[in-house]
Amino acid sequence: MADSSSALRLEQIPGKGRGWIAARPIKAGQIVLRESPIILYSAIPLISHSEPSCSSFSYCDYCFRIFAPALPESILSCPLCPHARFCSENCLSTAQKSSHSSWVCQALSLLRESSSLLEQPPERQVQARFVVAAYNLAILSPSDLQSLLSLLGTPDSTVVFAAQFLHSLISSLCPPQTQLSVELTAQLLAKDRLNSFCLMEPYSPDGPQRSIKAYAIYPEASLFNHACLPNACRFGYLEGTAPGDARNTDIIIRTIQDIPEGTEVCISYFRINRDYDTRKKILMQDYGFSCKCERCKIEAHWSATASNGDFPHAYFLSKYVCDRINCSGTLAPLPPTDHTPSNVVECNFCGNLKTDVASEQALAAKN
Ligand SMILES: C[S@@+](CC[C@H](N)C(=O)[O-])C[C@H]1O[C@@H](n2cnc3c(N)ncnc32)[C@H](O)[C@@H]1O
């Protein structure tokens, strides 16, 4: 599942819980983790409301690739329900054995007809998709359920309310073939809230903000801690072809700089060009911690007027933030070949490739 065994080791990091440490020196661009999701579910509310969906695309319910508009006849529907559609025989048959099992198909169909779920906010309907996916995991792969439960995340009152509602609804409509309690449901929802990764619609320079297509849980990737100036970043190849034998829904974590042995390997949980106040707010609201990294320490006391506009970390941001319009992804070198570092950097949002020389020149021209 993961490539981390030789490059990374898990340790307790003071003040942060568990985290990944470089087990040996790691070169810039190296892949340190490649992992498939144990849970992957659509971010679209189950029951459509009157307002139009923010997404203009429709996609396969297994691999989440956008359907080719020129080939509508190639789209396959689930034989048991009209809602789940697949881009190939392979996706359909694999989904029937996993994420769209007959129990999932029946549970989602019954939930769609539930008037009490219709009265709930769209977020609850997305949570319903997660709970169905998690119960399905409990039925099909108890060891993956244990991996999910081993992640950080403690239920609070909102999660407990959602768990009570969804557990009771699903148990009455379509009970899973295994005993799953309200308490377990609350635990699962709390893990999902803290650890799920968003899979986004493709980049477009002139399009609206990208919508979230799906949420995925990757237990090993969830153990990366956050840094506001990260030394690694996440890649995904949802629409394209993932490198090597990876699947398009796999997560790939690649280093953006050389990392000495013993150093913690961190990713940023969001775009790195956000300002201090925004980062502080997101980290507290969504992840429940206050970041004490070097960048935050400096920016907490930085003022544009007092500092003559000389923004701290300007060099890092110019070098590693993609400058394409509507992008701001993170740039990381391609993996080294035969221990030779690559001078081509790839953006983890828009996929743009450019030589590092060009980015150095762009930086020099700016200064
Ligand atoms: C996705 S988990 C990362 C793995 C986690 N450390 C663990 O032990 O499972 C996110 C949580 O890790 C902790 N964390 C991550 N980055 C941190 C940082 N820069 N400072 C403090 N805590 C951090 C916070 O508790 C956060 O809610």
Round to whole Å and give the CA distance between 183 and 188. Answer: 9
pLDDT score for 209: 76
Provide Rg for the chain, Cα atoms: 22
Sign of the torsion formed by the C-alpha atoms of 277, 280, 284 and 285: positive
- Does residue 19's CB lie within 6 angstroms of at least one atom of ligand 1? yes
For the record, the structure tokens of 308 come out as: 């003559």
Single-letter amino acid, residue 329: G
Categorize the per-residue pLDDT at 330 as very low, low, confident or very high, splitting at 50, 70 and 90: very high
Q: 4-36+218-366 sits in which CATH class?
A: mainly beta
pLDDT in tens, 97-138: 999 999 999 999 999 999 999 999 999 999 999 999 999 999
Contact at 8 Å (CB) between 199 and 213?
yes
- Does residue 295's CB lie within 6 angstroms of at least one atom of ligand 1? no
- Does residue 291's CB lie within 6 angstroms of at least one atom of ligand 1? yes
Span from the CA of 265 to the centroid of ligand 1 (angstroms) = 12
- Which residue do the tokens 């690694």 mark? 232
* Best mean pLDDT range from 154-168, 307-321, 347-361: 154-168
Contact at 8 Å (CB) between 95 and 60?
no
Residue 290 CA from chain centroid, whole number: 21
Contact at 8 Å (CB) between 134 and 188?
yes
Give the end-to-end CA distance of the chain in Å, rounded to a whole number.
Answer: 44
Pocket test for ligand 1, best of 148, 151, 226, 284 (most atoms within 8 A of CB): 226
Span from the CA of 284 to the centroid of ligand 1 (angstroms) = 11
pLDDT score for 53: 46
Strands, sheet with 212-217, edge to edge from the N-terminal-most edge strand:
39-42, 212-217, 197-200
Sign of the torsion formed by the C-alpha atoms of 286, 292, 294 and 299: positive
Round to whole Å and give the CA distance between 224 and 255. Answer: 12
For the record, the structure tokens of 275 come out as: 């300002």
Q: Which residues contact 131 (CB under 8 A, 6 or more apart)?
A: 163, 166, 167, 170, 185, 188, 189
Q: Where in the chain is the domain with CATH 2.170.270.10?
A: 4-36+218-366
Q: Average pLDDT, whole number, for the chain? A: 90
| Cα torsion through 150, 153, 155, 161, rounded to 10 | -100
Categorize the per-residue pLDDT at 358 as very low, low, confident or very high, splitting at 50, 70 and 90: low
- Does residue 319's CB lie within 6 angstroms of at least one atom of ligand 1? no
Span from the CA of 288 to the centroid of ligand 1 (angstroms) = 9
pLDDT score for 50: 47
- Say if residue 33 is exposed, middle or buried (CB neighbours under 10 Å; 0-12, 13-18, 19+): buried
Round to whole Å and give the CA distance between 47 and 58. Answer: 15
Write the ipTM. Answer: 0.99
